[in-house]
Amino acid sequence: MQLQSMYQDIILDHYRNPHGRGLREPFEAEVHHVNPTCGDEVTLRVHLDGDTIADVSYEGMGCSISQASVSAMYDLVIGKTVPDALATGEHFRTLMQSKGDPAVAEKLEDELEDAVAFAGVSKYPARIKCALMSWMALKDASARAWSSAPAPTEGAQS
Amino acid sequence: MTQTVSRPAGAPQAPLPLDVEAIRADFPILGRTVRNGRRLVYLDSGATSQKPRSVLDAERDFYENHNAAPHRGAHQLAEEATGLYEAARATIGAFIGAPENEIVFTRNTTDAINTVAYALSNAATAKEPAFRRYAVGQGDEIVVTEMEHHANLVPWQQLCERTGATLRWLGLTDDGRLDLANLATVVNDRTKLVAVTQQSNILGTINPLGDIVARAREVGALVLVDGAQSVPHQPVDVTALGADFLVFSGHKMLGPTGVGVLWGRYDVLDALPPFLTGGSMIEVVRMEGSTFMPPPQRFEAGVPMTAQVIGLGAAVEYLQRLGMDKVEAHEQALTGYALARLAEIPGVTVIGPPDTVARGGAVSFTVEGIHPHDVGQVLDDLGIAVRVGHHCAWPVVRRYGVPATTRATFYVHTGYDDIDALADGIRSAQQFFGVAAGGVS
């Protein structure tokens, strides 16, 4: 059956037992993103420590792909600097645009860890938006947290 | 997962009113397979219908033999194109009991509704006093229902924002019907127009338009009926409807995309200013200003979607050959069967009326423990095409406290075997996601 290529066990595990779920304090930015074609929603908060992502907390509802994606993203970005996390997000986007090409998934395996299991989603154009929603929310929230922070990195560097 | 189809033990089903096998042979697309060789089980006609060969042939014949811009040109092709275009208008008008001068071609239902909504706001500033009769402004009210497709809600919200009018709405009951308890207060002397669907695209509910039209008449309000989900599936006669406008889309009734219909009472259409302006809708144009044609041309600016109109004429003829009474009875039998099959599956909840009384063939449901997108994905893997999401009726899913639903819709080529495949597919999804007992594992 074709379905298993998309619904990898890793994805279903994240869906059933999401990592880092729930909204927490403190945070510098909160965003709400929706996927208007299907009604998937995520509320996501980012807490920065300097330029490092100290916490990402979230609540949301949606399909298994959207919910598993935010859980896998949580594992990937905590402890990364904002630029590194956003670079990882770009790798994930590349994976989503790979149309199931195994060479792309193989190349990104180290970078994306569990999230490389989403490679199968890239064969289903209608589901790519589900997988990308949380990454879009992270990008948005990080940018807001970054701009609202009183120039913490400059302070640390000088 | 296999596609073996299980029939429920016992009661054999009554033969369906339409000959499904013969009809399927008329639809080329139903001969193809999807997802590794599976038969296409198309249960998404509510989003867009498939097209019989006669519709495709009519469009092809037009382009191969008669293509020209209608109502222009002094040549034979222009004459033929005009003749075919206007003949289709007469056919489509007769299908809903309307004279041809009350049939305006639009792109689709959405376009038809916007044509009316913009006419009502343009009326306030129209130079021609005759066009101001239905002007909407501050203090006026527009009434919709909580059941409307976004196409019959957002244009009215926007009209109210442009004009300062107030939007009011009728709510829903828990069993998926319109709550008419406060009809007399919601529709009142300030009401300028009531916009209501005849058949819900998500709940399947068929609304009691008679009560609503009667109340609107008492207060002198116009009534616009959204027929996008009714005209394709049941006999609709505007002389019995009592409304002022009926709007519907060609592509949901076996016709091409890109053509819809705005029917309006002639005297009402004649008192409305145009929405889109330009070529073909003008009477006299001077640099200082222009005057406009009478309806329906006043609302058909630019070269029209000629091939699509002719294709829609062929679709109407196809439906007339089947008989709309039979189409309605066919879908009612299928709906009853689907509701019974879904009721057998633990964890499946139908959102909408639980029986076939005043109900059409849009069956929306949730499966406990599985998001509708994931249900749809498993069904797709089995070759079954359904719609998932909020079905462009976000307030409805919000009203019933679900984020989204899975929706199956039926049409003339749908058989019991399609519904058996759906029921088996839902069970497959439950197995796949480990919620087979109807609860989360």
> Quick one: tokens of B320?
């007339």
Number of domains into which chain A is organized: 1
In a domain, A154, yes or no: no
SS3 of A26-72: the string is CCCEEEEEEECCCCEEEEEEEEEECCEEEEEEEEEECCHHHHHHHHH
Report the 10 Å Cβ neighbour count for A155. 10
Query: With bands split at pLDDT 50, 70 and 90, how would you rate the model's confidence at B1?
Result: very low
Question: At residue B3, what are phi and psi to the nearest 5 degrees?
Answer: -105, 30
B304: tokens are: 């029209």
> What count of Cα atoms within 13 Å lies in the side-chain half-sphere of residue B280?
17
CB B346 within 8 A of CB B437: yes
Contact across the interface for A61 and B394, Cβ inside 8 Å = no
Indicate the burial class of A1 (C-beta count within 10 angstroms; 0-12, 13-18, 19 or more). Answer: middle
Let me know if residue A156 belongs to a domain: no
Strand order in the sheet with B362-367: B348-351, B362-367, B405-409, B387-389
Contact B374 A64 (CB under 8 A): yes
For residues B229 and B252, is the Cβ–Cβ distance under 8 A?
yes
pLDDT at A150 (0 to 100): 58
Q: Does A62 sit within 8 Å of B397, measured CB to CB?
A: no
Q: In CATH terms, is domain B55-320 a member of 3.40.640.10?
A: yes
pLDDT score of B318: 98
Q: Are B103 and B339 in contact (CB under 8 A)?
A: no
Q: Residue B78 and residue B306: Cα distance in Å, rounded? A: 11
Cβ contact, residue pair A63, B373, below 8 Å: yes
pLDDT score recorded for residue B437: 56
Could you tell me which residues come within 8 angstroms of residue B323 by beta carbon, excluding any fewer than 6 positions away?
A: none
Per-residue pLDDT of B224-248, as tens digits, reads 999 999 999 999 999 999 999 999 9
pLDDT band at B9 (very low <50, low <70, confident <90, very high): low
B262 to each of A11, B49, B238, B306, how far by Cα in Å?
A: 48, 19, 12, 16
Q: What is the pLDDT of residues B15-67, one digit of tens each?
A: 999 999 999 999 999 999 999 999 999 999 999 999 999 999 999 999 999 99
Question: Which of A1, A39, A124 is facing B403, going by the closest CB pair?
Answer: A39
Q: Could you give the CA distance from residue B363 to residue B387 in angstroms, rounded to a whole number?
A: 10
CATH code for the domain of A61: 3.90.1010.10
Condensed to tens digits (0 to 9), the pLDDT of residues B88-141 reads 999 999 999 999 999 999 999 999 999 999 999 999 999 999 999 999 999 999
Inter-residue contact B88 to B309 (CB < 8 Å): yes
Closest listed residue to residue B307, CA positions, set B47, B10, B81, B44? B81
- Quick one: pLDDT band at residue B5, thresholds 50, 70, 90? low
Mutate to test the interface with A, among B202, B373, B382 (most CBs of A within 10 A): B373
**Given an 8 Å threshold on Cβ–Cβ distance, is B390 in contact with A38?**
yes
The predicted complex's ipTM stands at 0.88
Query: What is the widest separation between alpha-carbon atoms in chain A?
Result: 58
Both tokens of residue B313?
């004429």
CA B211 to chain centre: 21
Per the domain annotation, does A158 fall within a domain?
no
Residues in contact with B275: Cβ distance below 8 Å, sequence separation at least 6, in sequence order: B114, B115, B118, B119, B122, B299
Interface of A with B (CB under 8 A): 1-3, 6-7, 12, 37-41, 61-65, 124, 127, 130
What Rg do the C-alpha atoms of chain B give, in angstroms?
A: 23
Region B334-345: what's the mean pLDDT? 97
Contact B238, B213 (CB under 8 A): no
pLDDT tens figures, A47-97 = 999 999 999 999 998 999 999 999 999 999 999 999 999 999 999 999 999
Residues in chain A: 158
Catalytic residue among B392, B396, B422, B429: B392
Instruction: In whole angstroms, give the CA distance from residue A29 to residue A46.
Output: 6
> Which tokens sit at B385?
């095409």
Is B392 marked active-site? Answer: yes
Whether A28 has a pLDDT exceeding 80, the answer reads yes
Residues of chain B with pLDDT > 70, as a percent, come to 96
Query: Distance between CA B150 and CA B195 in Å, rounded?
Result: 12
Chain A's closest residue to B389, CA to CA, is A38
3-state secondary structure of B109: helix
Q: What is the mean pLDDT of residues B308-325?
A: 98
Residue A47 falls within a domain, yes or no? yes
Q: Which helix (H) or strand (E) holds B95?
A: helix B76-95
Question: Quick check: helix, strand or coil at residue B46?
Answer: coil
Second CATH level (architecture) for the domain B20-51+323-432: Alpha-Beta Complex (3.90)
B441 pLDDT exceeds 80? no
Using CB atoms, pick whichever of B35, B371, B394 lies closest to residue A2: B35
| Contact (CB<8Å) A130/B373 | yes
Best to test chain B binding among A12, A38, A41 (most B CBs inside 10 Å): A38
Judged against a pLDDT cut of 80, whether residue A38 lies above it is answered with: no
**Could you tell me if residue A123 is inside a domain?**
yes
Q: Tokens representing A66? A: 């959207």
Instruction: Flag whether A76 is in a domain.
Output: yes
Which pLDDT value is given to residue A158?
Answer: 36
Q: Does residue A18 sit within a domain?
A: yes
Residue B440 has pLDDT above 50, yes or no: no
Name every chain B residue with its beta carbon within 8 A of the beta carbon of A64. 371, 373-374, 433
What stretch of H or E contains B144? strand B141-145
Q: What integer pLDDT is reported at residue A156 of this predicted model?
A: 42
Q: How close does chain B come to A100, measured CA to CA in Å?
A: 16
Rounded to whole angstroms, the Cα distance separating A116 from B157 reads 44
Domain spans of chain B? Answer: 20-51+323-432, 55-320
Residue B6: CB atoms within 10 Å: 11
Domain that holds residue A69: 3-148
Q: What is the pLDDT of residue B2?
A: 43
Q: Is residue A153 part of a domain?
A: no
**B20-51+323-432 and B55-320 have identical folds:** no
